[in-house]
Amino acid sequence: MASSLLSRQLVLSLQNNLRLSAGCRFASKAATKTQLEFEYDGPSMKTPVPGPRSEELTKQLGDIQNVGAVHFFCNYEESRGNYLVDVDGNRMLDVYTQISSIPIGYNHPALLKLMSNPNNLSTFVNRPALGILPPENFPDRLTESLLSVSPSGMSRVQTMACGSCSNENAYKAMFMWYRNKERGHNTPTDEDLTSCMINQGPGCPDLSILSFMGAFHGRTMGCLATTHSKAIHKLDVPSFDWPIAPFPRLQYPLEEFTRENAQEEARCLEEVEDLIVKWRQKGKPVAGIVIEPIQAEGGDNHASPDFFKSLRNIARKHGCAFHVDEVQTGGGTTGKFWAHEHWGMDDPADVVSFSKKLLTGGYYHKDELQADKPYRIFNTWMGDPSKNLFLSEVLNVIRRENLLEEVTRSGKALLNGLYELQARYPGLLSRARGQGTFCAIDIRDDPTRNSILLKTRDKGVLLGGCGDRSIRFRPALVFKEYHVHIFLNIFNDVLAQHK
C-alpha cells in the first residue's frame, strides 16, 4: 500500500506542477530535484476554505462531537512535503504543520518505505503495555531514537503518549523527588499511606510548581494549573494554589532596547525568588519550576540566554527541580535540536519534556528524578513503539539531509522577509521575532489577525495564531528558502489588502 501510494504521488507530482508568477517580489531559488520528486511546486486553490465537501463533513461530525475548532477536512493521502491537501482539492503550503507536530513533511518517502517493510508490521499491529510487557527490541529502539538526541547531562528517558501526559508525569516525578529529599529516604510512613487515600496530608503534601504567565503546558489537571495563555483553557476547572511569575515582555528590535529588556528580565527574576520564598512561608514549598524556552501558545514570547541561566541558578539555590518544556520548541525547528541549546549551558535542566515533532511524548530526566518504585510513573501504553521506529528514521533524514542547517537558512530568510514586510506595513505589523523557522509577528489587533489568517488560507497558505494578536510560523524541517518566498509573496498580497 505504502509503495503504491508513493508511486501515485510521484506521478501526480509531474502532472500538477505549478510555477511562481514572474512578478514575485521575493526571488526564489530553483527547487532541487530531490525536493520536486516528493512534493508539489506550489499552492493550488479550487474553492474557498472550508469548501462544500468540508462543510458537509463538518455537519456530519457535528452530530457526533463538538466541531467548533475544526477548520476543514483533509486528504492526507494526497498531501506531501510542505503541502496539505483538503477534501475539496485545495492544496495549501502548510506553515503551521498540525500545530507544529510534522517533522519532515507529509508522506515523506523514507517513512512510507518504513511502512512497507514487512519486518516492521508487528510493531504497527501490536501496541504493548510498555510498562509491563515491552517488546524485545525496545531498549535498542530507545537508544537509536530518543537517547541519540538526549539533552546535555541526561541519559534517562520516560516515554509517554502526548505533551500533556509527559508534563503531568514529569510534575509527579518532581514532587516524588522533592518529598523523598524532605524525608531523607524513600520509605513512606503508615500515615503517608493512609492519608493519601483521602487526599490529605502528609501523604498528599502541599507542594507547588512555579510557572509563568503566558505559559502553556497542557490540559490535564496539573498541567492546567501551570497554563496561563487563554481563559477558555481553564474556565470551570478546579485548580491548585501554585505561584505564577511574570514572563519577560521584551521590546523589539532587541538591539535597540538592550537596557530596557535587561531591566525587564531582572524584574521577573526578582519576582520568581520572591514567590518561592512566599510560597514556602505559606507552607506550600515550590518543588519545581517549569518554563518553555519560547512561550509558544502564549504569543511566541522570548527571553535571553542570561535570563534562563539565572533562572536555572535560582532553582538550584532554592532546591527546586528545573523543568524545561520543549514540547513545541524541540525537534529542530529553532535551528538546534533543542531550543535550550541556544542558552549554551552544560547542565540546562533536571527535566526536559517533549512531544509533537518527536512523534512520541515523554521526558528526559536526571538520575535522581527516576521513580523510586514501580507503578508510580505508569499508565497502560506509556508511549508507542511504532512512533520510536518513525522517529529513528526522521532522525536519519535530519542528519542525512542536514536539515538543521536548512532550518537556519530558511529561518534567516523568513525572519528577514518579515522584517521587510514590517517596514513596508508599519501600521499593521510589529515585533517580528524568531529562532530558526520558529518565528512570529504581531498584527495590530485580534480581528485583523483573524482576517489575515483566513485570507491567507484562501490564497493557499496555512498559518496559525497565538497570544492576543500574533501569527506564528511553524513549518516542517523540510521548509526551504523557496518555500519562504512563496509564502512571503502571498502574505504580502494579503497584507496589501489591509493597509
Choosing from 325, 350, 384, 442, the catalytic residue is: 325
In the annotation, is 257 catalytic?
no
Choosing from 29, 380, 446, 493, the catalytic residue is: 380
Beta strands in 326-482 (DSSP E): 351-354, 361-365, 429-435, 438-443, 461-462, 464-466, 470-473
Strand 83-85 to 91-94 pairing:
antiparallel
- Alpha-carbon Rg of the chain, whole angstroms? 23
Beta strands in 132-176 (DSSP E): 156-160
- Which residue in 196, 396, 212, 169 sits closest to 311, CA to CA? 212
Residues 410 and 438 sit within 8 Å (Cβ to Cβ): no
CA angle 34/36/28 to nearest 5° reads: 105
- Which residue in 320, 293, 317 sits closest to 305, CA to CA? 293
Q: What is the DSSP letter of 169?
A: H
Cα separation values, 119 from 125, 126, 173, 289, Å: 12, 13, 36, 43
49, 51, 53, 55 alpha-carbon torsion, rounded to 10°: 80
How many Cα atoms are found within 13 Å in the side-chain-facing hemisphere of 441? 29
- Which residue in 84, 56, 159, 157 sits closest to 378, CA to CA? 159
Residues 272 and 316 sit within 8 Å (Cβ to Cβ): no
In the annotation, is 356 catalytic?
yes
Which residues does 473 contact at the CB level (< 8 Å), separation at least 6? 95, 96, 414, 434, 437, 438, 439, 440, 463
409, 414, 417, 421 alpha-carbon torsion, rounded to 10°: -170
Choosing from 216, 337, 438, 491, the catalytic residue is: 216
d(CA 174, CA 111): 36
Q: Alpha carbon 478 to chain centroid distance? A: 16
In the annotation, is 194 catalytic?
no
Q: What is the DSSP letter of 333?
A: T
Give me the amino acid identity at 46. K
Q: C-alpha grid cell for residue 164?
A: 500533556
In the annotation, is 378 catalytic?
no
Burial class (CB in 10 A: 0-12, 13-18, 19+), 63: exposed
Choosing from 159, 212, 227, 356, the catalytic residue is: 356
Q: C-alpha grid cell for residue 228?
A: 496561563
- Positions annotated as catalytic residues are 216, 325, 356, 380
